[in-house]
Structure 1
Amino acid sequence: MFLKSSFVLSVIAAASYTCQAQSQLVASQIMASAINMDGIEANFMFAPLANNGGAQVWIEVKSGLSKKFAISPTGGFEYHIHVNPVGPNNDCMATGGHLDPTNVGAAKCLAAKPDKCQEGDLSGKHGELKATESGAIPPQSYNDKYIKFSGETTTIAGRSVVIHNNGTRVACGNIYPFKQSSSPSTSTNSASSAPGGEVQSQHSGASGGQVVVTMAMAVAGTVFGALMAL
């Protein structure tokens, strides 16, 4: 089980807090990525917001991103969604480039102009993961209205999250539908997890696969439902 109980509690706490400002979330297509490589352990969750409004993103780093390890002058770690899944033997180079369906290219991403950034440049839009003495980083959450969950060139499904240390790829993990995300990145699923358009709904009987509920109920229910199913 890749989600530790502390992460589950932090996600639910974040949902309860955030729902005061953002009351609705699509529960049917939640994506997650677990990274556990070379001492770096981190969890990412992407929950679609209603009406194609992007995603609510939750991040928790359990270990590995310490000030001793960071070599960037900013003391932070970049992280992005990359086009391909992780390669055999946890090969982060196999993930290809950043997810960039609008062909922004290598232009510097400015947080003040997220519409001019690559879809996958999460740290460019929302800031780097700041190193700490222990290497653990407290849970954080934000909205990214440019993340997509459908479309062959735009969906984040089947791709990967890559953490960089001053440009060098140091850890990575595949992005799966949440109920299938029971393990970190592996080489055995690379071929079958390539992007394929629409992410299938995890709930039966939903019209068009779009179940819209309050944020707290959506996240708490999905988390505990997935944990019970593992």
Structure 2
Amino acid sequence: MKLFATALLILAGVLAAAAAQDDIDATATRDIFEDSAPSSDPNALIGTIGAPFTNDSGVQGVITFSPESGGPGQINTMTISVEIHRGLKKGFGFPWSIRQNLVGPKGECSRTGDTLDPYGVHTTANYACQKGNPNAFQATCALGDLSSKFGNLNITEENGSFSGKFSDPSLVLTGANAVVNRSLVIHQPGGKGILACANIRSLSMEDSAAVSGATAHTILLHGSLASFLPAVLFVGFALGSA
């Protein structure tokens, strides 16, 4: 009888500990995503944005935009990290750009509008974006003209993957010219139509799990969520319909 009572006490203790751990995990989950909520500070984390490719195109990728402080006497900038995992064709260069509008409600890439250009730089007859010169981007480049700033996404891997990082001080996360609630498109080689498009938006807990290929609980246990925290914008793509 005493042995049975002892077993019950041990079981009760285990259940209580498990419940307490669940509470801790839930609190940690809320804290992580509350800390990355939208902010009026242009240099603050505002939450990962976007979604992965999940369509028949077979293209999967992540594009993140992270604000970086330049420090005293230096300009702030935006780090653009591109991780296309597969689906683009080796030997081709794919133009990419940020568009003014969101993707259409049925996934229509044709609804994304023109390249983001609030200063009208691209409307001049002698448009000549100074490629690779971040300090001249705002004066000489349309804000969303990523190909002219950095070049195309040139694919050299057999599986169609691409990885790269770029610095752009002309992009912002808040205000009238923010890239949030715009769209990002990858064009066909040679700029012949749109291959894929995605809204630049806040990433949910479910999106975060989908990106990592794990459940939310697994993300917390293994700490892989840390890879999302430095990134403030995330873009995933849908098959183009332009």
Q: Please state whether the residue corresponding to 1:100 is helix, strand or coil.
A: coil
TM-score scaled by length of structure 2: 0.57
Q: Which residue of 2 aligns with 1:170?
A: 195
Structure with a larger share of its residues in helix: 2
Query: Number of aligned pairs?
Result: 159
Give the root-mean-square deviation of aligned CA atoms. Answer: 2.9
Contact 1:29 1:47 in 2 (8 A): no
Deviation at 1:49, TM superposition (A): 1.9
Summarize the Cα distance change of 1:102–1:35 in structure 2 as closer, same or farther, 3 Å threshold.
farther
TM-score by length of 1: 0.60
Per-residue Cα deviation, 1:169-220 (whole angstroms, up to 9, x for no partner): 110011013457828xxxxxxxxxxxxxxxxxxxxxxxxxxxxxxxxxx964
The 3-state SS of whatever aligns with 2:196 is strand
Give the corresponding residue for 1:134.
Answer: 158
Partner residue in 1 for 2:65? 46
C-alpha spacing 1:60/1:103, structure 2 compared with 1 (3 Å)? same
Structure 2: state its 5+ residue gaps: 1-41, 209-224, 232-242
Cα distance in structure 2, aligned partners of 1:27 and 1:118: 24
Matched letter for residue 57 of structure 1:
I
Bigger radius of gyration, 1 or 2? Answer: 2
For 1:137-152, what aligned pairs fall within 5 Å after superposition?
137-152=161-176
How far off its partner does 1:34 sit?
3.3
CA distance in 1, matches of 2:198, 2:65: 14
Task: Give the match's secondary structure for 1:157.
Answer: coil
Change (3 A) 1:42 1:88: same
Find the residue that maps to 1:32 and give its secondary structure.
coil
CA contact (8 A) 2:155 2:162 kept: no
| Structure 1 residues 160 and 135, CA gap change in structure 2 (3 angstroms) | farther
Percent identical pairs in the alignment equals: 30
Per residue, is there more strand in 1 or in 2? 1
Most deviating of 110-119 and 55-64: 110-119
Gaps of 5+ in 1: 1-24, 184-217, 225-230
Q: Contact 2:66–2:230 at 8 Å: present in 1 too?
A: no
Match of 1:63 in 2: 86
Letter in 2 for 1:172: C
Specify the alignment match of 1:124 in structure 2.
Answer: 148
Report the CA distance between 1:89 and its aligned residue.
2.4
CA distance in 2, matches of 1:179, 1:55: 22
Number of the residue aligned with 1:228: none
- CA contact 1:85–1:94 (8 Å) conserved in 2: yes
In 2: Cα distance, 1:121 partner to 1:155 partner? 14
Paired residue for 2:137? Answer: 114
The answer to whether the 8 Å contact 1:87/1:93 transfers is: yes
CA drift of 1:150 comes to: 1.3
Does residue 222 in structure 1 map to residue 242 in structure 2? no
Task: Look up the equivalent residue of 2:65 and give its one-letter code.
Answer: F
Kindly indicate whether the alpha-carbon contact (under 8 Å) linking 1:80 and 1:162 is maintained by their aligned counterparts in 2: yes
Contact 1:79 1:163 (8 Å CA) reproduced: yes
